[in-house]
Amino acid sequence: MLALLLLTAWLRPCAAQGNELVMATTFSPSATVWIIDRWQQEPGSVMIRTLNRTSASLEQLLDTANAENVDLILTSSPMLLQHLQEHQKLAPFSGAPAVSQHLVPESIRSTSVAVAISGFGLLMNRSSADDPASACASGLG
């Protein structure tokens, strides 16, 4: 299965204070550390503060008035972005490379940009799948 990493701008033109950028993300801190480190090596960059939450938690937070001045959202959840777009919580975004936009679901292309793709697979122990009783007995089930 293919997962998209989607980046989108929050509704406010730029809620960032002069000294920080607030990024809400559904990814763990370990998954975002590289991009944040690279960003902060750029001349004139501001500090990035992250809000790491689940999609449901971010949806709930961003639906409230005290949304912590979020500037960007980094997620692999098109459903979260669809919800936020439907509630006019995302700013329109233009100028994204066409090559990346074909990866973004049509319904959220006006507010979201694909910045990366990743894949994952599932491994299955065939002998355990064929004999679930032995898998349970051996502690695999």
List pLDDT tens digits, range 35-60: 889 888 888 888 999 999 999 999 99
Rounded-to-integer distance, Cα 136 and Cα 134, Å: 5
pLDDT tens digit string along 89-116? 888 888 888 887 888 888 988 888 887 7
Q: What is the structure's pLDDT at 53?
A: 93
Q: Which of 67-71, 82-86, 129-133 has the highest mean pLDDT?
A: 82-86
**Sheet harboring 47-52: ordered strands across?**
47-52, 20-25, 72-75, 2-9, 112-119
- CATH number reported for the structural domain that contains residue 94 in this entry: 3.40.190
Give the domain extent around 120.
2-137
Tell me what the pLDDT averaged over the chain comes to: 77
**CA diameter of the chain:** 61
Question: Which residue in this structure is represented by tokens 């064929």?
Answer: 130
The burial class, CB within 10 Å (0-12 / 13-18 / 19+), for 29 is: exposed
pLDDT of residue 133 exceeding 70, the answer is: no
Which of residues 80 and 132 earns the better pLDDT score?
80
> What confidence category does residue 19 fall into, taking pLDDT thresholds of 50, 70 and 90?
confident
Contact predicate 7/115, CB 8 Å: yes
Rounded-to-integer distance, Cα 138 and Cα 141, Å: 8
> How many separate domains does the chain show?
1
